[in-house]
Copies of this chain bind each other. A is one copy, B any other.
Amino acid sequence: MATISDVAKEARVSVATVSRVLNNKESVRKETQQRVYDAIEKLNFQPNLLARNFRRSESRVILIITPNITNPYYAHILTGIGETASSLGYSALIFNTGGSLEKEKEGMEMLKLRRADGAILLASSMESPHLLEYVESHPVVQCSEYDGASGLPRVSIDNHLAAKEVVEYLIDSGHEKIATISSKNTYISTKERLDAYRETMKDHGLKVPRSYIAHGDPDYSFKSGKKAAMKLLSLKERPTAIFCISDTLALGTISAAMEMGIKVPEELTVTGFDDVDDTTMFHPYITTVKQPCYDLGMRAMKLLFDRMMKKEISDKKVILSHQFVIRESSAPYKP
């Protein structure tokens, strides 16, 4: 492989000049520049990133810490991050944690080792104290899920508002026996959606029996949604609507209803959350909240970039707008 000094020799200039045209910022005479370009072409020269990064003390890599790429919701965010990173000259290193805190720390070590210049946390299972060690000396932003106490920049939708919208829609449709399927994880979105459900119900003078709050697995698995729904649908006071905090949970709920001979939406209204791919794969298509996944990722990357460039960040809390999509799994209450 040709090096910068080979090029310099070939073009009869100094290495400094070659470096200048490579980074085309300082002034180089047009003619000289051309000579250098010719030499580069002739020798088929490619700058050695290893050397450059070392010298500049940067990796031009950003780290994405995610629980699970297999989840299409994250996969879409990842795509947004990835393409934006690429357009800014960065490569994206994806680190799967499977939700384990240990793995998460292992990932963050990449920052210290200088394998990556900054990180985007997709659904940190860490509590702030654990983060602190890395966050003090490295740019980090949170995307989608976040820890409010960490003080880190973040981008997400307004989960509380979105959930409120769904529950109000349910109430406006005449439903009163509204149950929810939440999840056993500690994500802020989970908490906010559940809180909004409770508040909205209360604001409208509607009761929420303890038994109306069911929980799926931390990863919103289809099976756990089905199981939770089975329980809900076996209640004496069977709910006429179920507000699920994820689409897979809603899918599970619909499946449970079908097996129990309960028609959706005629006898049971079901709503989801996120609007991932399989939301319109089967009838009934699911009424849900569409999240701007790609944009979430894009904005997070831009925020991180600003951070890395040490630009002032105007907005530390970016809230993107969601969209409530009414489809086939919901209908007005019919006594």
CB within 8 Å of B: which A56-98 residues? 57-59, 61, 69-70, 72, 75-76, 78-79, 82-83, 91-96
B residues less than 8 Å from A151 (CB atoms)? none
Q: Is the CB of A83 within 8 A of B96?
A: yes
How many residues of chain A are within 8 Å of chain B by beta carbon?
A: 44
- Bound state CA distance, A233 and B160, in angstroms? 46
Query: Closest residue of chain B to A57, judged by CB?
Result: B50
Interface string of A37-71 (1 = CB under 8 A from B): 00000000011111101100111010000000110
Give, as a whole number of angstroms, the nearest-CB distance from A284 to chain B: 11
Q: Is the CB of A70 within 8 A of B76?
A: yes
Q: Is the CB of B82 within 8 A of A46?
A: no
Q: Is the CB of A50 within 8 A of B46?
A: no
B residues less than 8 Å from A78 (CB atoms)? 69, 94
Known: A75-B69, A75-B70. A47 touches B113 (CB 8 A): yes
Interface assignment of A251: CB less than 8 Å from any CB of chain B = yes
Q: Is the CB of A281 within 8 A of B283?
A: no
Interface assignment of A112: CB less than 8 Å from any CB of chain B = yes
B residues less than 8 Å from A91 (CB atoms)? 93, 95, 110, 115
- Bound state CA distance, A91 and B63, in angstroms? 10
Known: A69-B69, A70-B76, A94-B82. A46 touches B282 (CB 8 A): no
B residues less than 8 Å from A47 (CB atoms)? 113
Interface assignment of A324: CB less than 8 Å from any CB of chain B = no
Q: Which of A113, A114, A222 neighbours the largest number of chain B CB atoms within 10 Å of its CB?
A: A114
B residues less than 8 Å from A95 (CB atoms)? 82, 91
Give, as a whole number of angstroms, the nearest-CB distance from A69 to chain B: 5
Give, as a whole number of angstroms, the nearest-CB distance from A182 to chain B: 20
Interface assignment of A125: CB less than 8 Å from any CB of chain B = no
Give, as a whole number of angstroms, the nearest-CB distance from A330 to chain B: 18
B residues less than 8 Å from A83 (CB atoms)? 96
Interface assignment of A262: CB less than 8 Å from any CB of chain B = no
Interface assignment of A172: CB less than 8 Å from any CB of chain B = no
| A interface, CB within 8 angstroms of B | 46-51, 53-54, 57-59, 61, 69-70, 72, 75-76, 78-79, 82-83, 91-96, 110, 112-115, 222, 248, 251, 255, 258-259, 277-278, 280-283
Show 28 residue pairs from A and B whose CB-CB distance is below 8 angstroms, ordered by the A residue: A46-B112, A47-B113, A48-B113, A50-B53, A50-B57, A50-B58, A51-B54, A54-B54, A61-B61, A61-B93, A69-B75, A69-B79, A70-B277, A72-B72, A72-B75, A75-B75, A79-B96, A83-B96, A91-B110, A92-B93, A92-B94, A222-B280, A248-B281, A251-B281, A251-B282, A258-B283, A278-B278, A281-B282
